[in-house]
Amino acid sequence: MFISSAAELEGIQKISEAVATTLKEMRAFAKAGMTAKELDDFGGEILNSLGAKSAPKLTYGFPGWTCICVNHEVAHGIPSAGKILKEGDLINIDVSAELNGFWSDNGGSFILGEDISNHQKLVNASKNILHKAIYRIKSGVKVSDIGRLIEIEARKSGYRVIKNLAGHGVGRSLHEDPHEILNWCDNDNKQRFRKNTVVAIETFISTASTIAQKGKDGWTLTGDKGGYVAQHEHTILVTDGKPVILTAVNGIWE
């Protein structure tokens, strides 16, 4: 989305605050013994109270208000009643929504309770790489250069990236141009970031896999070689200098 007026900026700020607040409160609410559905219903109540509509439900008919992945799940995890959250689980919550014709997207992986399975290093790498990537973005920067940075930083940390999942433009719909802000360098992609555009930047940092594959439920993605994946995502406004992080209140860097 290209922001061309104060009203448009206000609209994207409001929905970004809504999804960010929902993500932050869901992370704080999550407890061992809770089902993913309980956590998702809590998030749905927050979105509804803010007047926002779940983007995956609205766009794809997804069976949940939010996407919740646990351990080996990579993305689009169904928040089912049979998915019980346990101490030490690697959990990812992705919240996207629409409000008054504006759309925003954010997400984050975290450890539930004590890090008994030693996932924190992976989570920290994902958060740090997202931070480096976002603060490298400004008008004129090649989209492919951000992918190169993410992959290089992942390798430095001893990890890989998921190559068939990506960040994307957002604003007037859930996925807009640029449709693929990859976690690796696609030299054929000649696009550059443009001032006053809104994009969702996300990392997919992996311990083993490089491709996400759809499971039997038709939604949940898992890695082609197993292992674990951490994802972190912010919606930002591109400028000539430092970007404006529209979903900053989600606290995923804290």
In this structure, what are the phi and psi dihedrals at residue 50, rounded to the nearest 5 degrees?
Answer: -95, 0
In this structure, what are the phi and psi dihedrals at residue 23, rounded to the nearest 5 degrees?
Answer: -60, -45
94 marked as binding residue: yes
User: How far is residue 103's CA from residue 132's CA, in Å, rounded to a whole number?
Assistant: 24
User: How far is residue 54's CA from residue 96's CA, in Å, rounded to a whole number?
Assistant: 6
168 marked as binding residue: yes
In this structure, what are the phi and psi dihedrals at residue 181, rounded to the nearest 5 degrees?
Answer: -100, 85
233 marked as binding residue: yes
105 marked as binding residue: yes
**Beta strands across the sheet bearing 221-223:** 73-75, 221-223, 212-214
17 marked as binding residue: no
CA atoms within 13 A on the CB side of 247: 35
Q: What is the dihedral of CA 98, 63, 77, 174, to 10 degrees?
A: -20
Contact predicate 55/67, CB 8 Å: no
73 marked as binding residue: no
User: How far is residue 54's CA from residue 65's CA, in Å, rounded to a whole number?
Assistant: 5
Alpha helices in 97-142, H assignment, sequence order: 120-134
Binding residues: 76, 94, 105, 168, 175, 202, 233
Binding residues for substrate: 76, 175
Binding residues for a divalent metal cation: 94, 105, 168, 202, 233
